[in-house]
Structure formats: C-alpha cells, structure tokens
Structure 1
C-alpha cells in the first residue's frame, strides 16, 4: 500500500494536480453508488462481484472490487489473472502475431531522461518519501509516446516503407474521474496499444479498417455481440491535434462504457516527438516520399475483462425430474478465454487408484497447454449438483469424472458446461478431443 500511495503522490506532483491525496479509508471503502440493472432488476454489479470473489477471480477486498468496476487495474485472484492474461494473449495474437507489418515494443513506466531513470533504479531503501517526491518523475499516462519515440529505429525494419505499426501492452497511470470520491489519486490501467503509421492519403481508410477490426475482435468472444458498438467522437469531444476519433463501447447494466479509443493524429504528434530534421521521419509510399500520419489505438483491458465477464454471465432456468424449477448460473466464457478448461473429479471406487488416474490425466493435459483444475484433491464431500454449480460459475468448459468404469475399461464421464450433456468417452481420447474443441473455437 505504501508504494501504491507513493506512486499516486508522484503522479499528482508530476502532473501538477492541485488536490489532496486520498485518505486511506476512501481507498478501502466500497462505492456508495448502487448500480442497478437496466431493466430495474437486482444489483447486477453487486451480484457479479460476489460471484467473482466467491470463485477466485478477485480477492474479497472491497477496494479491488471497486477498482475493477471502474475499469482500473486491481489485484486479481488465480482465475482473474489467467482470464486477463488470456485476453491479452488473444489481443497480441490478433494485432501482432498475425501481421508482418506490426512489431512489438517495450517502454519504461517513467517518461524522464535516462539519467533520472537510472537514479531511481539505484535508490536505496533508506531514502525518504520526500526525496522520491522531489524527483517529480512523470509516470506515463499512455503508451503512445513510447511508440513515437521508437519510430525512427523501427523504420529500418520496414526499409522505410509504409504502412507499419508498433504494439505494446502495459500499465499506465491515470487520474480518477472528477466526480470520484478518490479525486486527486492516480490509478493503474492495463492498456493495449497499437500505433499505426501510414500515408496521409490512406489514413482515413485505415481508421475505418481498424475500427471494424477492433469491433469484430471484441464481438468474437461474447454471447451478445450487439452489446458492443462503435461511436464517432464529436468535434467538441476531440483532443487537440486530432482530426477524427472513434470509440468501441460496451453496454453494461448501468450504462455504456468505453473499451477502446481510436484517434487519427495526423503528423503533429510525430513532429513534436522528434524535433529537428524532417528528413529522418520521411518514408516511402510507393514512389512518393511522405511524412507519415499516425493512428493511435488504445484499449482498456481491465474494463475489457469486466465486459467479457458481464457478457458471459447467464442465468438459465431448468426443471428437474420432480418438476421443480431451478436457476443455473453459468459463466459461459469463450473457450480461448476460460481460465480453466477442464475440472478433474473422481467418483466412487478405490480412492488411491482413482487419484493416480486423475494425476496422470492432469499432467497429460497440462503438458499440451490445457489448464485443468484438480478437483479430486478436495476431500470435502459435495454432491454432483454442487460441483457443477461451482464449475459453472468458474467458467470451466468440461468436467471429467473418473470412476470405477475408468479403472475397468478406461471410460469416464464428460460433462459439457454449455449444454450440460454428459457422455462417456475413453480416457485415451480426452486430450485430442479438447485440443480440437479449443482449436475450433479459436478459428470462429
């Protein structure tokens, strides 16, 4: 907490924010504003946060729950960490790995000169907070500046030919909203950024292209694609030096929030970052030599995690054999995003032998990159309904039940999260079945 407060204080002093630092009790309290669902139903945000805390996505600390709800980086639990990492991996695969003109970069959190940065690294533990504050080292608020700084070295990779892009993911520090109880504090936000350099004559077409690309990418992972939309940024909302802007939006139960922002920056931002000769900035557009225009695409991946969670949550009603109505809560996360693909449990039979089978199957799945939950290690007696409730809320794709049949003839029970259908399958077929299932989901 001390380092978090120091970061906020550094942010405030380096950005000349003339307000007081948040008191500790404000940081730890839950939001006073209730968030109701759009149809007047129960507290949708509260229900979601309870589920996320109950199923190890976030810890039961109200401060972190509030941060996530605001689209800020919070402390994630085991499942939350994997969900966020999976989302970032999918973003990177879509923007960088599948495109020969996009290169990944990495920049520092601080935006000062090299000497000041080295000084911070050499700081002794005994230095006082006042000495740290006197450095007034600015923390980055966007990843754009780092990409602009690496523009000239990157030209050689493309033989000075347009278009190309520089991509990065990392933490940025942003001030709280003006109407927030935590006014004056800076918050960490995980940003995914693509800075695209193109010829002036094609910049508008590229903005349209990337807008479609980003909207389709968000919709790919969701049950309700219509909850995602785009909106042109009006003239009065645009930042100085921008000619066009677009936002990718998600419709939360309490209203629309921005997931991603795309700006057409022209050449002004590049010229500000590289003073001096314009010749070193020029590129080839066919036979022409031009000064490139810059497009900036930045996504708030913490708010993206929240959007994916809300869009995946379903309450399904079913009637049992005795005509009793039950409501089933399930987190239908996309197969590529689900933190846990398979849960392994064991039924009746020789405990030691079944455990050995489960452990062998667990390692076989992990060896091929399929995340598995070792439910068989839990010695608490639970009914099948309770197990399914737990795994449905965790977003687990399949539950594998190892029992006496597995020992006798290699057959085990496979339950599908989305259909609840149970079928028998030979243990030797499980790995290939899961790999094909996940691979097919990635191509949709």
Structure 2
C-alpha cells in the first residue's frame, strides 16, 4: 500500500504528481558531478535511473548497488566504532519512528505524517465538501496518522532516564543510534529519506561547551582519517542568526565538493530545555549525582550517512594521466577508497592454462578470504575474460585494493602475482602468504 509523507500545516488542494514535479524541478546537476555519477552507476555503487541518480545528487537515501551497499555498511560500522570506542559510556539504542511527539520536525511546522495514499485520494475526490470541510477532514486524517521522525534526538531524550539509572546517575554518557529519517529537500516541501547517525551526549552544564569542542575535534579527525584529501573536510561555527531555538552554539562539519561545501554532520550545544520538555518538567528524575542536583545539558552530533558515502566517493575519485613507452598519453581512472571502506579488498583471476585446476585454487583462496572476513571478487568466474589491462582498469574504477592472478606457475611453485591498486606495482607472493598479507595491510590501515 502506498503512503505519502506530509507535514502538518496549512492545507491546500493538490493534484496527483505535483509533489514529484516540484522535487524534480528543484534538482540540478552540480558541476563536476557527472564523472562520479557515471562511475557509480557503471561500477555497481548506485542503481541506474534518473530518479535514483537525482536522489544520490542531493545526498539523500537512494538505491545502492552491491558495492555501494557494502561501502555504506562499512562506513556505518566505522561510525559506530568511532563513537563507541571514544568513550566507555556510549550506549546504542533503537527507537521507533513515530513514537514521539514529532520534536525536531521544525519550529512551528509540525511533524511529518505518514498518510495512506488511498485515504488521501478518496478525501480529495469528495467534491461535495466545502473548502472548510475539506480542511477539517484533512486535519483529522493527519492527526490520526503516525508521525515520521525528522531526527533521532527525541528517542535519546525519551531513553535518558533508564540510561541514567544504568550509569548510576553519573555524567557524562551518550546514546548512539542510526536509522532512517524524513526531511524536506531543496525547499520543495517534499520529504526525502536520509540515513541519519546520532550521538546525544549528556553532560554537566559547566562542561557542555568543552564537550562540544571535544566532539568537533573527534568527529573532524574521524572524517579525515579515511580521506584521500583530508583538507576537503573542515569545520565551522554556525552563525548566531542560524542557531536553532534550543542551541547556544553550533558547529558544522562539511565536505568541499567540486560544486561547493555540503554539511555532513551538525553539532549543537542544546542546553536542558528539550530534556525537561520531554519529561514534562519533572526535575527530580533528571538530576544527577554531581553534588549540585543540576539538570544535564545535551550536546548532539547528527550526521547524514548518505551524504558521507557521496563525500568519500567524490574524495577518492582520481583521474591520472601518464605516458606509455610510445609517449602516448593515457588516462587512468581509479577510486582510491580507504582500505577499511573499500567494498572489495581483492579480486581473484586466472591466466591462460589448466582452467579447472586454476579455478580450484581460486575457490580455495576465496574460502580463506571469507573465513578471514576479507571481501573478494570472483573474477575467475567470467566466461569471456577480458585482457589483464582491461581487468585492471575495471578493478581500479571499482576501488579493488589488490588483484591476484593465479597461473600455471602457481600450480608448480605456489607463486602468484599481486597487483596493488594504489601503486600499480606487481609483486610475486606465495599462495600461503596472501591471506596474512591482506589481513595485516587492512589492520594497519585501520589503526592509522
């Protein structure tokens, strides 16, 4: 059954498809994005189709291909490790969309509501209703419909009291969550789904500003850790005229795309007003053991995971030019994603020779990699394998870290050839060493 998300507010008659038209008309192709779009579609990062690439352009949730899904999963996993390892007092939570009162949907605008299309269509087709009756019926329909969350803050505020008991009423501590949220996009008024990451940090009032600075440094360092060009990631204070109602300070972490900066995460020092409102002003159950019976202040870190995926794809794309031995200018396109983020760590291929025996070696290596949780691409299964030069070009665009070639020499001596994506250097290695080599390489990259 189809549903539509609408925001509570002034009601007006709409025609079918008007929302979709306004959304499409507000999207434009930013300069410098087309090469990235083509690569992402051709190399299985996002699904093809104009509507899907437009969602990708805007940094909202789109249909990911197999490699994009794996990249997104790797990024989310690294985000969770970064916030949970940064402090012993960060706990994961799961909240339900629509469980709160719509807080965070925007001052005065009301929450987004999920409405069944069939009910809405039947209501709009009732020509006997006057304008006032239509407005009244529409508002009743909206009030009965569940709220679609615009952010994850409310869930953390609601779970503050049981979490406070968990930590023996001592500060500071944080609640972390990731999940889908709906937000208006590009001024069109049409909601767009985003995958949001959220860390809500509860601390004493006197330290909230220091904690905002701490999390700004920590988050910027995390984004830059995986970047090929770290300087493209930056932070800046939110101007006073752009502060949200509850916040005394704000910081944006941004990425400089070829078409301009876009926000990846926003940090707010929010005070205690929202926490008090959520718990109906009952101060006694919110007070902590800091000797002053004070109400904790809230520092929130809210990120857009989908735009983060786009930022790392953009940051990693390189188009390199070189001359071959005949002084012919060649261009090499390579997606130099960080080793822990890249979806495929190694591609397995065979050269000409005893195909059955070579495939058996590849299958044995593939099983080893799976046991070590090293993602591998079974290139040896291609029925019409291209030349090694074409394969290398394909794997570079996919971001594959290493290409392993099994040959007749492997059957005789156990030696295979390993090509590096980043250096293009080819090395000879014994088949028994490749698993350990890859595990060590990825582990070292994760700690740097």
TM-score, normalisation: structure 1:
0.89
Which whole-Å CA distance do the structure 1 matches of 2:198 and 2:186 have between them?
22
| Equivalent in 253, 257, 260 of residue 252 of structure 1 | 257
In structure 1, what is the equivalent of residue 360 of structure 2? 356
Could you list the per-position Cα deviations for residues 274-311 of structure 1 after superposition, in whole angstroms to 9, with x for gaps in the alignment?
114201000122x3332100001000110000000000
What's 1:299 paired with?
Answer: 303
Task: Write the distance in 1 (CA, Å) between the matches of 2:391 and 2:378.
Answer: 12
Give 1:439's aligned residue. Answer: 443
Q: Distance in 2 between matches of 1:345 and 1:24?
A: 48
* Contact 1:30 1:66 (8 Å CA) reproduced: no
Contact residue 397 and residue 418 of structure 1 kept, 8 A: yes
Matches within 5 A, 1:18-417: 20=14, 22-23=17-18, 26=21, 33-36=28-31, 44-111=32-99, 135-178=144-187, 183-285=188-290, 287-417=291-421
| Runs of 5+ consecutive residues of structure 2 not aligned to the other structure | 102-115, 124-140
Match of 2:201, SS? strand
Where 1:207 maps in the other structure, the secondary structure is helix
Deviation of residue 134 (structure 1)? 6.7
Q: How far 1:62 moved relative to its partner?
A: 1.2
Over residues 8-46 of structure 1, what are the superposed CA-to-partner deviations in whole Å (9 max), with x where a residue is unaligned?
Answer: x2x31546676847548638969763422xxxxxxx211
- Structure 1 79/48 Cα, relative in aligned 2: closer, same or farther at 3 Å? same
Match of 1:421 in 2: 425
Alpha-carbon offset, residue 360 of structure 1: 0.9
Aligned mates of 1:29, 1:236 — CA distance in 2: 30
Write out per-residue CA displacement over residues 76-114 of structure 1, whole angstroms, 9 at most, x where no aligned residue. 00000000010000000010145211000001121358x
Is residue 28–residue 63 contact of structure 1 (8 Å, CA) maintained in 2?
Answer: no
TM-score when scaled to structure 2?
A: 0.88
Question: In the alignment, is residue 12 of structure 1 matched against residue 6 of structure 2?
Answer: yes
> Does the 8 A contact of 1:64 with 1:75 survive in 2?
yes
Is the CA contact (8 Å cut-off) linking 1:28 and 1:62 kept in structure 2?
Answer: no
Q: Deviation string for 1:196-219 (max 9, x for gaps)?
A: 000001000000000001111000
After superposition, the Cα gap between the structure-2 partners of 1:388 and 1:15, relative to the gap in structure 1 and judged at 3 Å, is: farther
Rounded to whole Å, the distance in 2 between the matches of 1:13 and 1:291 is: 32
Pair 134,153 (structure 1): closer, same or farther in 2 beyond 3 Å: closer
Q: From the superposition, tell whether residues 345 and 26 of structure 1 become closer, same or farther in structure 2 (CA, over 3 Å).
A: farther
Contact 1:12 1:18 in 2 (8 A): no
Deviation of the 1:376 alpha carbon: 0.6
Q: How many residues align?
A: 415
- 1:425 is displaced (CA, Å) by 0.3
